[in-house]
A and B are shown apart, each in its own frame.
Chain A
Amino acid sequence: MRESKLSGVLFLLLLMVVWELAAQRQWLNPLIVPPLSRIFASFGSLVAAGDIPLQILASLKRAAIGYVLAAAVFIPLGILMGLFDGCRRALDVIIEMLRPIPPPVVIPVALLFFGLEDEMKIFVIFFSCAWPILLNTLEGVRSIERLLLYTARTFGLSHARIIWQVVLPASSPQIMTGLRISLPITLILVVISEMVGSADGIGYFILDAQRRFKVAQMYAGMLALAIVGYGLNLLFNLAHRTFLAWHWGMLREQQR
């Protein structure tokens, strides 16, 4: 295994060297594909000057608000719908009507309501995260092992306490899955909404760089975005390991 990791890294380095050479020697159009060195240089200076971090922060702020709002609304809703079948059936049709709408297509609506403000992006993210969070939460609650509930009842727990002490912890892995899926969705939609209608943010930054033919900057922005995506993933895993330590251990065991 280590052997292939090494060859993988070598291959990556090889690609990078080829890129650099090809761009320097003008085999590739440097206006479209600048040398890696220039991209890294641009990245470095933009980060140092604070330009990129500022844009990323703006994007992350909107992303965070939209994400947290979606969680705060749709996790409880999912739990309610999971516990009370009537509630689920009542909302089922509405949800099935809204689900097929590809999230970006909601952007013009958001533009109509909120213009280019932060609220526009927050709304779009809120809408996009809704279904993964809601449906996974719902599924998590509905698929709780019956024996767990029987066990709680045989020990005399009241219904309210069963929800708090059994339903919530038992469905938390699936709720986590919904939150995890929503993470890349959030990032994608914040970028898209910034490309369509914004005056700042990393999405806007990348598109703007392209429009002004500042190509190295454009790639630098993309690099920053990839790093942010990777970082968010790490953060989420950390949260998973912290809050659901018991589940994390189970997963590791199963993967062997």
Chain B
Amino acid sequence: MPILEVENLSKSYRQLRGENTPAIGNVTCRVEAGEFVSFVGPSGCGKTTLLMSIAGLLEPSSGRVVVKGKEVKGPPPNLVLVFQEYNKSLFAWRTVLSNVRFGLEARGDRSPRAEAKARELLDRVGLKGFEKHYPWELSGGMQQRVAIARALAYEPEVLLMDEPFGSLDALTRLELEDTLLGVWAELRTTILFITHDIEEAIYLSDRIWVLSRRPAQIIQELSIDFPRPRDQLTTRAHAGFMTLRNEIYRQIGHAV
């Protein structure tokens, strides 16, 4: 059974003047456990709305989302969403370590094991030594790593990520892509990733869904067969990489 099923999901917003603005058209897809899948689409196509609807933070206008057989009606307990604006999602009044422990505390887990786990994850994302710092003391890339560590500490079965590297500079982005892949390989969480960076999507994913302009609809599904573990140099140098990229680029261009 797929771990996540999206069935005919659509979402419209009611504007001030009463008109309905559709953000997501009819979206249907399936994700198997342990997969790394990405949605790629132009800016403003409704990707965030899609992810937030899957995460149970927004109520769909029609259709439904099923996680592990249960319909989503509010944030499911085994699913976590990481936002693009990390600085706005971190709790400024908590230290880095305290932020990472937040999810565990929310579950009622304040054991030494939880503490150890949080520390270990901070180490994995390269932030060892920063436990007692406050978020404002860290750089953008570091803050996003805290947000990722916080999500992973929660050990969700499904991790949704909304353009998590979008606000970072190119080099940091590449670094975090590899960090993420490393942790994912270990934990085998299911990851749903959103990005407007086509190459990033190809580099990270097992499968890609290409989204149209608003209202977002899946115009194509692609399988990415490059071997794992992926590598920034060799994978991207693969002949097929650019072909895929051009294909997707064309798809998005057509959908305008």
Q: A interface vs B, CB < 8 Å?
A: 145, 147-148, 150-157, 161, 166, 169-170, 172, 244, 246-247, 249-250, 253
Contacts and interface: CB of A to CB of B under 8 A. Distances in A.
B134 A147 contact: no
Contact of B106 (A147, A148, A150, A161): A161
Given A155-B103, A155-B154, A253-B136, 7 more contacts: A150-B57, A150-B89, A151-B83, A154-B55, A156-B77, A170-B91, A247-B92
B91 A166 contact: yes
Interface string B77-94: 101110101001101111
B75 interface: yes
6 closest A-B pairs by CB: A169-B93, A147-B88, A147-B89, A155-B106, A154-B81, A155-B103
Contacts of A157: 106
A246 B134 contact: yes
A169 B85 CA distance: 19
User: Which secondary structure dominates chain A's binding surface?
Assistant: helix
B80 A155 contact: yes
A39 B179 CA distance: 70
B33 to A, nearest CB: 20
Contacts of B254: none
B88 A170 contact: no
A148 B85 CA distance: 10
Q: Output the residue of A147, A154, A157, A161 with the most chain B CB within 10 A.
A: A154
Interface string B97-124: 0000011001100000000000000000
Nearest to B133: A249
Contacts of B79: 154
Contacts of A155: 75, 80, 102-103, 106, 154
A156 B107 contact: yes
A163 to B, nearest CB: 14
B57 A172 contact: no
Contacts, number: 61
Contact of B83 (A147, A170, A250): A147
Interface in B183-199: none
Nearest to B78: A156
B93 A148 contact: no
Interface of B: 52, 55-57, 75, 77, 79-81, 83, 85, 88-89, 91-94, 102-103, 106-107, 134, 136-137, 154
Contacts of A247: 92-93
A154 B75 contact: yes
Contacts of B52: 150
Contacts of B154: 155
A170 B103 contact: no
Contacts of A244: 93
A45 B89 CA distance: 58
Contacts of B88: 145, 147-148
A216 to B, nearest CB: 49
7 contacts: A145-B88, A147-B89, A150-B81, A155-B102, A157-B106, A161-B106, A253-B136
A156 B83 contact: no
Contacts of B102: 155
Contacts of B94: 246
A250 B134 contact: yes
Contacts of B136: 249-250, 253
A189 to B, nearest CB: 32
A246 to B, nearest CB: 5
A128 B93 CA distance: 30
A244 B85 CA distance: 24
Contacts of A153: 57, 75
Contact of B134 (A150, A172, A249): A249
A247 B55 CA distance: 31
Contacts of B93: 169-170, 172, 244, 246-247
A172 B102 CA distance: 19
B91 A154 contact: no
A142 to B, nearest CB: 16
Contacts of A249: 134, 136-137
B129 to A, nearest CB: 18
Nearest to A162: B106
A147 B85 contact: yes
B134 A154 contact: no
